[in-house]
Chain A
Amino acid sequence: MKDRIYFAAIEFPDDPNVVGHRYWYICPFEDVEEGDIVLAPLGRHSRLQQGVVREVRYAKDVDAPYPIYLIKYVRDVVKKRQGDYMMYKIIEKRELNPTVTMMEIYAPLVAKKAEPGQFIILRVDENGERIPLTVAGYNRKAGTVKIIFQIVGATTMKLNAKREGECLADFCGPLGCATETDGLKKVCIVGGGVGCAIALPVAQKLHELGCEVHSVIGFRNKDLLILEEEFAAYSSKLTVMTDDGSYGRKGVVTDPLKEALEGGEQYDRIIAIGPLIMMKFVVGAARPFGVPVTVSMNPIMIDGTGMCGGCRLTVGGKTKFACVDGPDFDGYEVDFDEAMERSRMYCDFEAHAREEECNLFKKEVK
């Protein structure tokens, strides 16, 4: 069958626009049979969508059921006819820079509800810890959720070792409250490092709601830059900052923010997402102008559903729980110094675990 190609006809019963139609695809997975559920790109924008295989056949390219130069590929299989949904399968994995990875995970229940600002809790494997990651995007029709993470500890290292097609043990969400976007007309979004991944869907949603978005995104250097194009698409003004000046402007994110505020920009709100220290300084920069600041907190968490209390923060002098009361809080009220202190609780353990995980450390040096 070497000269033959495997084709699959797919129906998309969830999509009212194409209901009743079948579309032919090249299917790289030769075990796919009638009745399986797959993800395939649909329409002009080739958005991934969930569909059912109705027919399969082998054919030579000249006998293809659809012109071979136009035909698209089945992206992934998420359910065999006889079997369970392949929950939490990694549909796509891409390195955004050497320390930051993007993954698209099949989790239809989460994808259906997720909103910008919310987070998920995942476990990589059976002995894994539960880690919270903020939603970086979602595709409701395909049932996938996008996460972007920085490799900082043992768990994110393990996560990064997973390949496309493998599954995660658990993926639970969406948790926390969505970022408030109602009634905002002009917003400045400030993203720092991997925090930009969380800021992006907020920028996108605001843009879609007709809000004027100005974005300032900052990184340590050019190599760590992510999502510049995407931010440009949703912002009417974008400033990229690097600490060492290797790309964009040299300096920190508060520099252009201060300039804009001093220049008389009237923002309804500033939304800051990034390292704690960055958010603290954004609040400091905004204070003289009295612009409301929303910050997204990402403390240590276990269950993420309002049971353990590990994610507590002091906000406005009161104990708040990031998992149910947040993760967004009024920046002026958050006790950042305390949050920074608490985030270092397991530093030693993390460093140790990272060394355990990394084989380089296990080698004896002679």
Chain B
Amino acid sequence: MIMAIVPEKHAMPVQDPKVRARNFEEVALGYSENIAVAEAQRCLNCKNKPCVSGCPVNIDIPGFITKVKEGKFEDAYSIISLSSSLPAVCGRVCPQETQCEQKCTLGIKFQPVGIGRLERFVADYHNRNFKGLTSVPVSNGHKVAVIGSGPSGLTCAGDLAKKGYRVTVFEALHLAGGVLVYGIPEFRLPKDIVEKEVENLKAYGVEIMTNVVIGKTLTIDELFEDGFEAVFIGSGAGLPRFMGIPGESLKGVYSANEFLTRSNLMKAYKDGSDTPIMHAKRVAVVGGGNVAMDAARTALRLGAESVHIIYRRSMAELPARKEEVEHAEEEGIVFDILRNPVEIVGYHNADDRRDPKNGFVTGIKVIKCELGEPDEQGRRRPVEIPGSEYIIDVDCVIMSIGTSPNPLIKNTTTGLDVNRRGGIIVEESTGKTSKEGVYAGGDAVTGAATVILAMGAGKTAAKAIDEYISSKQTY
């Protein structure tokens, strides 16, 4: 029997934009079982499986979709978990449109299969319904240290633990999860999902030590002295960049990292949190990545009346995930594209030095741009139009223009080579660094990138670490 193919993806049920713009609950509500099965039936189960090659961790996508089709959701979960340690997270935050779904054969004529949505459904189904115990692998007695409990660290730890290694994860903050807890907001990735994924890893015997800053509390050399045979560095991106324009030290100017950390990690959006955050009325966010979208939508939920995204190129060049941009637009975020900030303006009462409003932001001066010749990466360069400056009235500015790597580990580890920008230099196919037994991956290597790329790097390194330790034994 040949069934007609539904040309479009089954729509994701979402909260109404007007309602969700004022709450921190998750925007996308997830497929129901019926919709999931129906969506799975759109998969052609084609022979060459192009989607798998589009996935940085090579999940057997047609395999798990077939199980969903048959209604065997737990089996589908088992297939995904062979390749991915954090399916509930990836189903929510991966840019599927440029990965697996971009390669989908169905996508040539119609819309591709909603792979990400199915992955999320399967993971949520498992987390809701699975009551059994995880079987803990037999220990092989080898100790591995993982620095950082973000996506790359958790993936590396998970993969090694499943192979029987005794893995200890060192986290600098008081909570495990890295960017998943301090960076990505609750409405996009609920924190209990991250917590659940971390619990799943602990069930495999992974030990997590919070409040330990490697490079300060302990050094990598000390880890080796303590009997760890290999170390994976997944310490993530570091200090936020600023533009170097006047006014960046005014009160009301945040880095996206600070703004999001206050809201997500420290729960400043909730009553009862001791951490303060500015509840600004008019907000400007500088930058066009996922982090900028998160910051803008968080500001909106904290009660802002207007939120502007200031980006120097056009909508087509926005680096953020498409779905996030669409959600942001629906919620009423204003996109001031082809604009570049030149100055942040503050209040200054020359007659009264003690005026409490002194030093607070009142506006951001921007200059209009047009797109010129493509640069070396092929992106069209923004060219400023002289004399087109104007001021947007805002009381808070959030800088979201990237980060530079954290210097703590580099400064305290001898023999670890870094590149000009401070990123750790690794062999791409293994994650091996210049120091023996030390591997690295994620933003600490690449600079700001995506969760799934970091996971891919963690996975690669786990495989290489396993090979490294096994090969050492034979001598």
Contact = CB atoms under 8 A, between A and B. Distances in A.
Contacts of B413: none
Contacts of A319: 242, 244, 248-249
A297 to B, nearest CB: 13
A347 B174 CA distance: 26
A172 B174 contact: yes
A346 to B, nearest CB: 4
Interface in B156-194: 172-174, 182
Interface in B250-284: 251, 254-255, 257-258, 261-262, 265-267, 272-276
A170 B210 contact: yes
Contact of A310 (B237, B258, B408): B258
A308 B216 contact: no
Given A127-B274, A129-B275, A302-B261, A310 B217 contact: no
A312 B239 CA distance: 10
Contacts of A113: 216-217
Contacts of A308: 240, 255, 257-258, 261
Nearest to B174: A170
**Majority secondary structure, A binding face:** mixed
B213 to A, nearest CB: 5
B7 interface: no
B314 to A, nearest CB: 28
Contacts of B407: 306, 324
For the residues of B in contact with A, the DSSP-based class is loop
B216 A175 contact: yes
A154 B239 contact: no
Interface in A283-324: 302-303, 305-310, 312, 314, 319, 321, 324
Interface string A230-263: 0000000000000000000000000000000000
B359 interface: yes
A155 interface: yes
B217 A302 contact: no
B212 interface: yes
Contacts of A345: 251
Nearest to A346: B276
A349 B262 contact: no
Interface residues of B, number: 41
A172 B359 CA distance: 32
B118 to A, nearest CB: 34
A218 B174 CA distance: 36
B41 interface: no
A253 B210 CA distance: 41
Contact of B218 (A109, A155, A324): A109
Interface stretch (A198-206, A264-272, A336-344): A336-344
A59 interface: no
A321 B239 contact: yes
A300 to B, nearest CB: 9
A340 B73 CA distance: 58
A173 B174 contact: no
A312 B249 CA distance: 8
Interface string B211-247: 1110011100000000000000000111110101000
Contact of B406 (A172, A307, A344, A353): A307
B211 A302 contact: no
A130 B257 contact: no
A341 B358 contact: yes
A172 B267 contact: no
Contact of A175 (B213, B244, B257, B358): B213
Given A109-B217, A172-B213, A353-B274, 14 more contacts: A109-B212, A109-B218, A169-B174, A171-B211, A172-B212, A302-B261, A302-B265, A303-B173, A309-B239, A319-B244, A319-B249, A324-B406, A342-B251, A344-B359
Interface of A: 109-110, 113, 123, 127-130, 154-155, 158, 169-175, 302-303, 305-310, 312, 314, 319, 321, 324, 335, 338, 341-342, 344-350, 353
18 contacts: A109-B212, A109-B217, A123-B174, A129-B273, A130-B174, A170-B210, A171-B211, A175-B213, A303-B182, A306-B406, A307-B236, A307-B239, A307-B406, A308-B258, A309-B242, A314-B249, A335-B249, A341-B359
Please provide the 5 A-B residue pairs with the shortest distance between their CB atoms, ordered closest to farther: A309-B255, A309-B240, A349-B276, A172-B211, A308-B258
